[in-house]
Amino acid sequence: MQHIVKIGTRDSELALWQAKKVQALLAGSGVRSTLVHIKSEGDINLSQPLYEIGVQGIFTKALDLALLQKDIDVAVHSYKDVPTQMAIGIVKAAVLKRDSYKDLLIPKADTNTIKEVLGYSTGKWMATPNASTTENTAFTIATSSIRRKAQWLHRYPQHRIDNLRGNINSRLKKLDASNWQGAIFAAAGLDRIDLRPANAIEIDWMLPAPAQGAIVAVCRNDDQWIRKVLLALNDVSTDICTGIERDFLRALFGGCTTPISALAQIENDLLHFQGSITSVDGKEQVTIEKRVPCGEVQHIGQMAAAEILANGGERIIESIRNGERKA
């Protein structure tokens, strides 16, 4: 009798979509599987912003435990939620082809006033917002992401950021019932469950979280059979790019409380890397950009992180740590 693979997943609509994606790919390889629903700490505590909870692996710990206890064979995650240091005994087995890495602004109402204030016209963002339209406009934008908060405040320092937690469906409902001017979401999440509003605006100036838009399947290190099965699902290009982004994050000692962004893309045999770290209040930001031949990408994430630290990133990280200690 063929082994039925147990796939662990959170029970949100998005998490189930991702798990079913892996399930369908396994079925295409002739492997039968079933889904096992598991609640994570991040799903239970919806009152605090993620950056205040400050827990590494808040969406993955419960699934890690289920894996190690052999209650499941595979766990499926949004790769950006996975700590750069995985639990002992658990390994990355497959990274699926990446969907959109971009963030989206969902305006409360699709009005020309909002777009004018933000410096967005005819489908494009201005390189720098027009000060005459932004300085005296106190918008409120909602997000639970410290990275999005910091980058938004760097561009729009006069704006206010409110916390927005919950699954995608509940966050959209909260936005609709709020007095906010808009909220920020990951494009991939909305697209996967067909909830992208018609008035959504891609924030092309905002760098994503490392590995944003990618799905990862992990398993036990000693389960050689499932590791081999999952390897067939691995997208090499996505694996390389997200690996570099996570190397950058790890070298900066970053987690959910640190506004670190990274994006690696392969274009015409060149790897284009962009990275940044921003102070929580948005006042300081250090960025880096590199293009290297694909044959020379080893350690590029660590090298970029070292340059960031040397050029002011260390000061930003220390200020964040000091703020955490005072809190």
Give the long-range contacts of residues 107-116, CB within 8 A, separation 24 or more: 107/181, 107/182, 107/199, 107/201, 108/175, 108/176, 108/178, 108/180, 108/181, 108/182, 109/199, 110/198, 110/199, 114/139, 114/181, 114/182, 115/201
Could you give phi then psi for residue 135, rounded to 5 degrees? -60, -35
CB 202 within 8 A of CB 138: no
What amino acid is encoded at 163 in this protein?
Answer: N
Catalytic residue among 43, 64, 73, 81: 81
Q: Which residue has the tokens 């924030």?
A: 203
Maximum Cα–Cα distance across the chain: 71
Task: Report the candidate in 207, 101, 84 with the shortest Cα–Cα distance to residue 155.
Answer: 207
* Burial of residue 235, with CB atoms counted within 10 A of its CB: 0-12 exposed, 13-18 middle, 19 or more buried: middle
Measure the N-to-C terminal CA separation of the chain; round to a whole number of Å. 56
C-alpha distances in Å from residue 162, one per residue of 118, 144, 168: 17, 8, 16
- Whether 119 contacts 126, CB under 8 Å: yes
Does 162 participate in catalysis according to the annotation? no
CA distance 289 to 304: 8
Measure Cα distances from 164 to 51, 84, 183, 231 in Å: 12, 25, 8, 36
CA-based nearest residue to 259, from 180, 147, 131: 147
Catalytic residues: 81
